[in-house]
């Protein structure tokens, strides 16, 4: 059962030495942090490592959290920097938003599109598949906007960019996601959109 206390109250209890309060914070945010890490890492093992690292980093610097933003916004900025460092270590170039070469292999994965199985697969399956094919930046912005309950300004703060840039990136990311969905579903997309 999750705590009904607010994030700030849990942070105060953690800083006072109550570690179980931090466990409640982890439980509350782990699903989204893990999802966001998955958008960057593209596999569960790496995503788990990134997500764990984020919560440990957040715990270490909890006293420096200024409370001028939501805890989630602060936490997502840690996810973003941790994921970027992790990807750099793994030598995956994610710096250019237009560089899709890295992810061509995912798109061309055998068995990705199988007409006979389409009817059996849910819409969410195709949506998740399309998100997986996006570049990490695009996937992260879409996830933060739709699932992270973050405004454009908060996303900008988490990613360390301007709110207007986020707006443009979100627009382009949605366009790309729509294209991926169309490509994956072909004629089934007519039913979806």
Partner 1 sequence: MNSIEEKLWNYIDGNCSIDEHKAIATLIANNEAYKSKYNELLLLNNEFTGMEMDEPPMAFTYKVMETIRTENARQPLKAAIDTRIILGISAFFIITVAALLVFAFSTVNWTAGTTIKTPELIKLPAIKSYFTGPLIKGFLFFDLVMGLFLLDNYLRKKSGLKHH
* Residue 64: DSSP 8-state: G
Minimum CB distance to partner 1 smaller for 51 or for 83 = 51
Q: Are 192 and 123 in contact (CB under 8 A)?
A: yes
Nearby residues of 56 by Cβ (< 8 Å), 6 or more positions away: none
Q: Are 141 and 170 in contact (CB under 8 A)?
A: yes
Give the separation between CA 93 and CA 41, rounded to whole angstroms. Answer: 12
Q: How far is the CB of 159 from partner 1 (least distance, A)?
A: 17
Q: E-assigned strands of 111-185?
A: none
Q: How far is the CB of 101 from partner 1 (least distance, A)?
A: 25
Minimum CB distance to partner 1 smaller for 12 or for 48 = 48
Minimum CB distance to partner 1 smaller for 34 or for 71 = 34
Give the separation between CA 7 and CA 5, rounded to whole angstroms. Answer: 7
Residues that bind partner 1 (CB under 8 A): 19, 22-23, 26-27, 30-35, 38, 44, 47-48, 51-52, 55-56, 59, 123-124, 127-128, 131, 142-143, 146-147, 152, 167, 171, 174-175, 177-178, 192-193
Q: How far is the CB of 118 from partner 1 (least distance, A)?
A: 16
Minimum CB distance to partner 1 smaller for 97 or for 127 = 127
Minimum CB distance to partner 1 smaller for 95 or for 186 = 186
Q: How far is the CB of 142 from partner 1 (least distance, A)?
A: 7
Nearby residues of 8 by Cβ (< 8 Å), 6 or more positions away: 67, 71
């Amino acid at each position: 059962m999750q705590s009904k206390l607010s994030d700030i109250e849990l942070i105060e209890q953690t800083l006072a030495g109550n570690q179980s309060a931090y466990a409640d914070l982890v439980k509350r945010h782990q699903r989204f942090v893990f999802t966001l890490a998955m958008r960057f890492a593209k596999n569960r093992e790496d995503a788990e490592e990134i997500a764990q690292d984020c919560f440990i980093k957040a715990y270490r610097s909890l006293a420096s959290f200024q409370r001028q933003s939501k805890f989630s916004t602060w936490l997502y900025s840690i996810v973003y920097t941790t994921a970027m460092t992790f990807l750099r270590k793994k030598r995956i170039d994610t710096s250019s938003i237009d560089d899709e070469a890295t992810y061509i292999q995912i798109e061309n994965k055998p068995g990705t599109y199988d007409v006979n199985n389409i009817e059996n697969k849910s819409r969410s399956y195709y949506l998740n598949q399309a998100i997986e094919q996006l570049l990490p930046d695009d996937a992260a912005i879409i996830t933060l906007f739709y699932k992270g309950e973050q405004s454009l300004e908060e996303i900008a703060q988490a990613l360390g960019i301007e709110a207007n840039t986020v707006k443009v990136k979100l627009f382009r990311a949605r366009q790309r996601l729509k294209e991926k969905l169309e490509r994956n579903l072909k004629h089934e997309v007519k039913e979806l959109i």
